Amino acid sequence: MKVLIVLGSRNPQGQTARAADALLQGVTDEGSQGERVFLPKMKIESCRQCEDSGWGICRTEGKCVIEDDFAAIVGQIRDADAVVFANPVYFSDLSESMRAFTDRLRRTCMHEAGRDKIADKPAIGICVAGGGGGGAPACAVSLEKVLQRCGFDVVDMIPARRQNLDMKVNILEITGKWLTTCPSSG
Ligand SMILES: Cc1cc2nc3c(=O)[nH]c(=O)nc-3n(C[C@H](O)[C@H](O)[C@H](O)COP(=O)(O)O)c2cc1C
């Protein structure tokens, strides 16, 4: 099985990457493959709200008009068997790069063509509050909401904070192993 990890942090040595890597370890221990994408290192513009109605070709074609790295990452999501969204908690919410990406994905997924190979795909969210430690559960609610609207089968959401990350990495590793069993609520 192929697992794609989409990170809303730019730091491969950071706390979010540490959490994501723990899950990835569980995935690879079971003989599956994993790949990481660091969203802040990619070119992902914000939605332009193209037309006066607020919509654009996202609604009519399930695509986005902006020519940046969005479409390529969506292609990677389609190619994967499961997707993990790992997000650093900013202001108890999503990071700007995760927000920009999921905002546009949610729009394209309103159309059947946009939902192709995304609908019902198992997804896991990880939210790491690496400062004071507050806000991971609130961020997890935000992330779950947008992923569900995209049509993913959100099979788990894991909040973590700097103060419990040593403990949570164990859970994340086990979760990675479990993900390879292709859990699906359907
Ligand atoms: C703009 C901003 C807002 C942040 N808000 C929070 C917060 O609400 N709660 C918290 O514990 N940490 C907060 N942090 C710290 C991040 O959660 C921490 O930097 C992140 O988890 C670790 O980032 P990394 O994975 O890129 O290393 C904030 C950091 C930034 C830059």
CA 132 to ligand 1: nearest atom: 11
Measured in Å, residue 162 CA sits from the centre of ligand 1 at: 10
Closest residue by Cα to atom 6, ligand 1, is 90
pLDDT of residue 71: 98
Measured in Å, residue 184 CA sits from the centre of ligand 1 at: 31
13 touches ligand 1 (CB under 6 Å): no
Measured in Å, residue 96 CA sits from the centre of ligand 1 at: 11
pLDDT of residue 110: 98
Measured in Å, residue 128 CA sits from the centre of ligand 1 at: 8
DSSP helix/strand/coil, 69: coil
Tokens of 178: 């479990």
What is d(CA 83, CA 6) in angstroms, rounded to the nearest whole number? 7
What is d(CA 17, CA 166) in angstroms, rounded to the nearest whole number? 13
Query: Which letter, b or e, does each residue of 60-98 get, where b requires 16 or more Cβ atoms within 10 Å of its Cβ?
Result: eebbbebeebbeebbeebeebebbbbbbbbbeebbbebb
pLDDT of residue 185: 62
Residue with tokens 């499961």: 82
Closest residue by Cα to atom 26, ligand 1, is 9
130 touches ligand 1 (CB under 6 Å): yes
pLDDT of residue 143: 98
**Which residues make Cβ contacts (< 8 Å) with residue 51, sequence separation at least 6?**
none
What is d(CA 90, CA 94) in angstroms, rounded to the nearest whole number? 6
Question: What residue segments make up the domains of the chain, in order of their start?
Answer: 2-179
CA 17 to ligand 1: nearest atom: 25
CA dihedral (23, 25, 29, 32) positive or negative: positive
This prediction has a pTM of: 0.97
**Which residues make Cβ contacts (< 8 Å) with residue 80, sequence separation at least 6?**
2, 3, 4, 35, 121
CATH number for the segment(s) 2-179: 3.40.50.360
Measured in Å, residue 135 CA sits from the centre of ligand 1 at: 9
pLDDT of residue 186: 57
pLDDT of residue 182: 73
User: pLDDT tens digits, the chain, 186 residues: what are they?
Assistant: 999 999 999 999 999 999 999 999 999 999 999 999 999 999 999 999 999 999 999 999 999 999 999 999 999 999 999 999 999 999 999 999 999 999 999 999 999 999 999 999 999 999 999 999 999 999 999 999 999 999 999 999 999 999 999 999 999 999 999 999 977 665
Measured in Å, residue 158 CA sits from the centre of ligand 1 at: 16
